[in-house]
Structure 1
Amino acid sequence: MVMPTGSSHVLLVLLLFWVAPSRQELAPVQLRLGGPRGPAGEGRLEVLYQGRWGTVCDDGFDFHAATVACRQLGYTAAITWTHSATYGRGEGPIWLDNVRCGGSEGSLAECVHNGWGISDCHHGEDAGVVCSGQRLPGNSPQATTSGHLGEVSGLTLEEVRLKPILARAKLSMPVMEGAVEVKHNGRWRQVCDANWTRNNSRVVCGMLGFPREKHINTSFYRKLWNRKLKDPNSSLKTLSQKNSFWVHKVRCQGSEPHLARCPVQVAPPTPQQHACPHGMHAIVSCLPGPAFQKGTGKGKNKTAPGKLLPVRLRAGTHVGEGRVEVLRHGQWGTVCDKQWDLAAASVVCRQLGYGTAKQALVGARMGQGLGPIHMSNVRCTGHERSLGECRFQDAEQNGCRHEADAAVRCHMPHMDFKSQVRLAGGRNPEEGVVEVLVPVQGQLQWGAVCGAQWGLNEAMVVCRQLGLGFASHALQETWYWAGSPDATRVVMSGVRCAGTELALQQCQRHGPVHCPSGGGRFSAGVTCTAYAPDLVMNAQLVQETAYLEDRPLGLLYCAHEERCLSRSADNMQWPYGHRRLLRFSSQIHNLGRADFRPRMGRHAWTWHQCHRHFHSIEVFTHYDLLTLNGSKVAEGHKASFCLEDTNCPEGLQRRFACANFGEQGVSVGCWDTYRHDIDCQWIDITDVPPGSYTFQVVVNPKHEVAESDFSNNVMRCQCKYDGQRVWMHGCHTSDAYGADVVSDLERRERLANNLV
């Protein structure tokens, strides 16, 4: 190659000015976690650079980058990382983009990136991290936590507990009655009962996970106190003379979510004054919610039906947390997070039978809902028995969207369920052979669970019991995991759970253990995950797009091969004639907090000629037409799908696509649409007589992929067919309406068709 004279000098100058993305400006930077208040170690990743806080774009961000960030924040390791502003959109500059780390760097600033402030991202792409709860030894992390809604600031009273005194209270689980003890500056103190009020008791019970306090006669406790003071072998008299033994005075109004929000005098006004003259420790008795009571029918609120607005929590990782949904006008809907605070969140928690709220979460922290948004600007005093008694506005007037769905985390009673189950032999603490502690011949013994009939519902209960979230896999064979040597015996078999139990011991199981396969490699196992997807069908779209088509057989060869037609099509004179098809579009949203991914790897995907792409899940939906009595009238077929992000809300990027053998799945917040004009997107009703029917779609029918909520996987419509036309109405997911509304709809249809 011949170069003109002087061109080498030009090339040298260009090389000198060329700068590759590199580890530039290694000035120390500070990190913090932002977003709605959550467990320690997770949130939106924010960086302090040149005196301004900014965010990190999720482009190129991976587990190695999360590991570096978590270590810099003072944690031992990263659990995972999040994309698409999972913890809400940040503010200010986006300081880092295309971050590439090896995993061993000491600071995020040492990783390769585009350069400070050089980014083509928006705040809908803010990255987040989830770090392990363990701190690095001797580490004083430089991380700070940005302000969060629902945070209790200035805590002087850190924890509260009840010390059981009576024998029956000591045997109770959870502990519901005893002397109040609070932790102040790292030391436990008794609270003086002088001027102790029932409002104080209400706040203490709320912090301990109980919805209400109970009046108690303390005269017997006073006798025990006086007896101990006179006992020469007791140290109580000496201790009670010290002011450091007491918290002098607490004055709560009863609406506070935490004792630290109450006016507190730890010490008396003057050092010479005794903190609790002639007093004793305050005694509190709490009433548990229905889920934590022995027996049934106890503890139900007797509130006026007109004011009692039913509430529920959805998509939470643990019991007592989730997206808040309320039942208004017969339909479930969400609550907008405008002015959402701990007072309103505590009303929800108490109404559900839990304690006060630990956190009031904003920004769809527990995933986005689907359907109406019923309430906005909710203002509660904290004494209401139901969210319906609080002041609120209709969300339609405030321009709320599901990106602003409110959520809560509630205080829960300590049940000690976690100590009754464990996982052994897994590669990490979130997986392994299930081992349970049960009484065997009068003694508590650890043992294995028979793997026969073990399924996702049972695995869900185990993961919830351990506080590990949701089950991603339920394993009936665990030959690659070695259980504990002291738990080789099978002590539980035939386990059948509804999936909502708080502990495996609450599920149905065999009386005498019966496990023909034995234990060992046929023991039950689980894999748990903190986040899970949640698929919900768009019922309104089905109702709007349903129509009939008489399709010539000449256009149905491919569909016939894939068994998308009724069996009577086999006996027709092909290609002459037609089939009558009930066509519709299906749109399936992922409202969970994790991407929905197929269970099978690429090697197991099947090519579908009709759709001209690979299907990653062979049985993804069931399409059925039922009589009003529930029997099938049209041969419903099992539709298989290629999963992709057909569309995403503004600010989220499509990450999965079927074309070119691409990665398949449905991202958080996105949806997969199968249009009405695609082959097999129908039910063949050629042989169906005119009448009224129920049209039903079941998503993920075999529960092949774990979800946070299976109760919304069924979509039903009322369907009327006169032989020439079809009317679809009343389409709803199985949990969209209240039970009374659904039963009323079904009753009317049955009466209209002379069905008793």
Structure 2
Amino acid sequence: HERQWGTVCDDHWDLRDVAVACRELGCGAARSAPGAGHFGMGSGPIWLDDVNCTGMEAALSSCSSKGWGKSNCNHGEDAGVVCAGNGWWAAGREPSLRLVNGSNRCSGRLEVRHHSQWGAVCDHDWSILEATVVCRELGCGAVASAYGAAHFGQGSGPVWLDRVRCNGSEAALAECVAQPWGANECTHGQDAGVVCAGNVLPRLRLVGGLNECSGRVEVFYANKWGTICDDNWDLQDAAVVCRVLGCGAAALAPGSARFGWGSGPIWLDNVGCSGQETDFFQCPAKMWGIHNCHHGEDAGVVCGGERWDGGKGPLG
């Protein structure tokens, strides 16, 4: 928080809080919620106290607490977490699903293991809900896209699953409804695929500025970096970007490609943040990739109280 690492106090710390931390980190299910500096005493600020999650939040920062920096604790009360780890490696078991032929382990054609043989999943009824469960089970963060029609190339061997239907909250694909193993009328031209946001790839960045807290706003979606159109872009939107990136308050929200033209897709248009969101992707906007813009309208941000003089540099 505020570009500084700090700890969490163990007051009221429990498995519901740990469940959120494990989910956010892509580390599988919660195992235990140790307190009392179990993993050693931290240093720096104690950022959170009296954390109270329902267990369903996407991020720890979405849970209720006393507020940033407000605590009655010392580092002997630092909270800890033990997660089960990426589900399919837990307890030394062989993986039961994988993504292949993508750009990294968190994208590609979905394959599942049955009777010691890898096979594909048919794209009938395949949607973002099923892909969400795959990303969660693989410890790959949030889902970005769900593909069909062998987007990542045709597999070989059996088509193991068809008509998979998840509600999106399952911990593993095996918990979803599907046809019996091997029962399908599909070809490998219908192989399902998934792109996850990944647990090592950022979803938001600033490019082309003087430092990491100023520049053209770029977002990561469907395995590609793209820009944001400046239609309706204002300080409320910039405030959320700066907060998420730990860059302090927003100073300016320049448009018209102030930090240079981007390349690739223009992912978002008509972004309308209230300024209070804790996650930029909570802000309303047009659907991904839907816009009437060109890169000469790329949106930018200047955080940290800097004033910008039209591209010549920060003003004191």
TM-score (norm 1): 0.24
User: Could you say which residue in structure 1 is the equivalent of 2:255?
Assistant: 659
SS of residue in 2 equivalent to 1:432: strand
User: Could you say which residue in structure 1 is the equivalent of 2:27?
Assistant: 318
Select the residue among 430, 435, 440 that pairs with 2:111: 435
SS of residue in 1 equivalent to 2:174: helix
Which one-letter code corresponds to 1:318 in the other structure? Answer: C
User: Could you say which residue in structure 2 is the equivalent of 1:490?
Assistant: 159
Distance 2:42 2:187 in 1: 45
SS of residue in 2 equivalent to 1:433: strand
1:105-163 superposed Cα distances (whole Å, 9 cap, x missing partner): xxxxxxxxxxxxxxxxxxxxxxxxxxxxxxxxxxxxxxxxxxxx89xxxxxxxxxxxxx
Shift in CA distance, 532/656, structure 1 to aligned 2, threshold 3 Å: farther
After superposition, residues 161-176 of structure 1 pair within 5 angstroms as none
1:691-718 superposed Cα distances (whole Å, 9 cap, x missing partner): xxxxxxx96799969xxxxxxxxxxxxx
Which one-letter code corresponds to 1:492 in the other structure? Answer: L
Distance 1:424 1:506 in 2: 22
User: Could you say which residue in structure 2 is the equivalent of 1:519?
Assistant: 187
1:660 Cα deviation from its structure 2 partner? 1.5
Is residue 458–residue 495 contact of structure 1 (8 Å, CA) maintained in 2? yes
Structure 1 residue 644 corresponds to structure 2 residue 261: no
Which one-letter code corresponds to 2:194 in the other structure? Answer: V
1:492-512 superposed Cα distances (whole Å, 9 cap, x missing partner): 011122333332222111237
After superposition, residues 340-489 of structure 1 pair within 5 angstroms as 342-344=34-36, 369-370=61-62, 372-374=64-66, 398=72, 408-412=80-84, 414-415=90-91, 419-439=95-115, 444-483=116-155, 485=156, 487=157, 489=158
After superposition, residues 20-419 of structure 1 pair within 5 angstroms as 85=3, 88=5, 311-312=16-17, 313-314=19-20, 315-320=24-29, 342-344=34-36, 369-370=61-62, 372-374=64-66, 398=72, 408-412=80-84, 414-415=90-91, 419=95
Distance 2:146 2:98 in 1: 15
1:451 Cα deviation from its structure 2 partner? 1.4
Structure 1 residue 614 corresponds to structure 2 residue 231: yes
| Structure ID, larger Rg | 1
Is residue 219–residue 226 contact of structure 2 (8 Å, CA) maintained in 1? no
Distance 1:498 1:370 in 2: 22
RMSD, aligned CA: 5.6
SS of residue in 1 equivalent to 2:95: helix
1:445 Cα deviation from its structure 2 partner? 3.1
Distance 1:317 1:495 in 2: 23
Distance 1:424 1:371 in 2: 35
Distance 1:420 1:358 in 2: 35
Distance 2:239 2:195 in 1: 30
Distance 2:40 2:287 in 1: 32
Is residue 450–residue 524 contact of structure 1 (8 Å, CA) maintained in 2? yes
Distance 1:665 1:420 in 2: 33
Is residue 451–residue 476 contact of structure 1 (8 Å, CA) maintained in 2? yes
Shift in CA distance, 509/308, structure 1 to aligned 2, threshold 3 Å: same
Distance 1:448 1:434 in 2: 6
Number of equivalent positions? 231
Distance 1:479 1:512 in 2: 23
Which one-letter code corresponds to 2:273 in the other structure? Answer: D
1:533-557 superposed Cα distances (whole Å, 9 cap, x missing partner): 99xxxxxxxxxxxxxxxxxxxxxxx
1:399 Cα deviation from its structure 2 partner? 10
Shift in CA distance, 531/480, structure 1 to aligned 2, threshold 3 Å: closer
Distance 1:642 1:521 in 2: 47
Distance 2:286 2:181 in 1: 29
1:674 Cα deviation from its structure 2 partner? 7.2
Distance 2:41 2:176 in 1: 30
Which one-letter code corresponds to 2:61 in the other structure? Answer: G
Distance 1:410 1:491 in 2: 34
Is residue 478–residue 525 contact of structure 1 (8 Å, CA) maintained in 2? yes
Is residue 458–residue 497 contact of structure 1 (8 Å, CA) maintained in 2? yes
Distance 1:702 1:359 in 2: 45
Distance 2:5 2:154 in 1: 41
Q: Which runs of 5+ in 2 are unaligned?
A: 49-57, 204-217, 277-281, 290-316
Distance 2:184 2:151 in 1: 16
Structure 1 residue 672 corresponds to structure 2 residue 289: no
SS of residue in 2 equivalent to 1:343: coil
SS of residue in 2 equivalent to 1:452: coil
User: Could you say which residue in structure 2 is the equivalent of 1:504?
Assistant: 173
1:363-387 superposed Cα distances (whole Å, 9 cap, x missing partner): 67x96624642599xxxxxxxxxxx
SS of residue in 1 equivalent to 2:125: coil
Shift in CA distance, 319/436, structure 1 to aligned 2, threshold 3 Å: same
Which one-letter code corresponds to 2:274 in the other structure? Answer: T
Which one-letter code corresponds to 1:456 in the other structure? Answer: I
Shift in CA distance, 658/601, structure 1 to aligned 2, threshold 3 Å: farther
SS of residue in 2 equivalent to 1:458: helix
Which one-letter code corresponds to 1:511 in the other structure? Answer: P
1:293-337 superposed Cα distances (whole Å, 9 cap, x missing partner): xxxxxxxxxxxxxx9988333233222469x9xxxxxxxxxxxxx
Distance 1:642 1:375 in 2: 23
Q: Percent identity?
A: 19
Between Structure 1 and Structure 2, which shows a larger proportion of strand residues? Answer: 1
Which one-letter code corresponds to 1:429 in the other structure? Answer: R
Which one-letter code corresponds to 2:16 in the other structure? Answer: V
1:436 Cα deviation from its structure 2 partner? 0.6
Shift in CA distance, 478/604, structure 1 to aligned 2, threshold 3 Å: farther
